[in-house]
Amino acid sequence: MRCGTRPVAVRARRRGGSPLAALRRLAQPSRRPAVAALLAPFAALVLGAGLLFAQAPGAGRVLNIRLEGPVTPVMAEVLDHALDRAEAEGYEAIVVEIDTPGGLETSMREMVKRILAARVPVITWVSPSGARAASAGVFITMAADVAAMAPGTNIGAATPVNMQGGMDSTMARKAANDAAAFARTIAAQRNRNAVWAEEAVRQAVSASETEAVELDIVDFVAGTREAVLEKADGLEWRRGDEVRTLSVAGRPVDRAEPSFRQKVIGTLADPNIAYMLLMLGFYGLLFELQNPGAILPGVVGGICIILAFLALSVLPVNFAGVALILLGVVFFIAEIKVASHGLLAAGGIISVALGSLILFQGEGVRLSWSVIAGGTVATAAFFMFIAGAALRARGRKVVTGDQGMVGMRATVVAPLKPRGTVRVNDELWNAVAEAGAEVGTEVEITGVEQLTLRVRPVSKEAQA
Q: CA-CA-CA-CA torsion for 97, 103, 106, 112, nearest 10 degrees?
A: 20
Q: Which CATH architecture has domain 62-260?
A: Alpha-Beta Complex (3.90)
What is the predicted pLDDT for the residue at 152? 95
The span from the CA of 271 to the CA of 399, in Å, is 48
What is the predicted pLDDT for the residue at 51? 44
The span from the CA of 129 to the CA of 121, in Å, is 24
The span from the CA of 69 to the CA of 194, in Å, is 26
Backbone phi, psi, residue 206, to 5°? -130, 165
Q: Where in the chain is the domain with CATH 2.40.50.140?
A: 401-463
Q: Where in the chain is the domain with CATH 3.90.226.10?
A: 62-260
Q: What is the CB neighbour count within 10 angstroms for residue 380?
A: 18
- Distances from the Cα of 431 to the Cαs of 418, 422, 440, 447, 462, in angstroms? 8, 6, 14, 10, 21
What is the predicted pLDDT for the residue at 389? 61
Judged by DSSP in three states, 409 sits in strand
pTM for the structure as a whole: 0.65
The span from the CA of 292 to the CA of 236, in Å, is 69
Pairing between β-strand 132-134 and β-strand 206-208 as defined by DSSP bridges: unpaired
Full pLDDT tens readout for the chain, 464 residues: 444 444 444 444 444 455 445 445 544 554 455 545 555 565 555 555 444 445 567 788 999 999 998 888 889 999 999 999 999 999 999 999 999 988 888 899 999 999 999 999 999 999 999 999 999 999 999 999 999 999 999 999 887 765 444 455 677 788 889 999 999 999 999 999 999 999 999 999 999 999 999 999 999 999 999 999 999 999 999 988 889 999 999 999 999 988 888 888 878 878 888 888 988 888 888 777 777 777 888 888 889 989 888 888 777 788 888 888 889 888 877 876 776 777 887 888 888 888 888 887 655 567 778 888 887 788 777 776 765 665 555 555 555 555 667 878 888 888 888 888 888 887 888 888 877 788 888 888 888 887 888 888 887 655 55
What is the predicted pLDDT for the residue at 297? 82
What is the predicted pLDDT for the residue at 206? 94
Q: Which CATH architecture has domain 401-463?
A: Beta Barrel (2.40)
Cβ 211 vs Cβ 197: under 8 Å: no
Judged by DSSP in three states, 396 sits in coil
Judged by DSSP in three states, 315 sits in coil
The span from the CA of 15 to the CA of 31, in Å, is 17
The span from the CA of 415 to the CA of 438, in Å, is 5
Cβ 302 vs Cβ 285: under 8 Å: yes
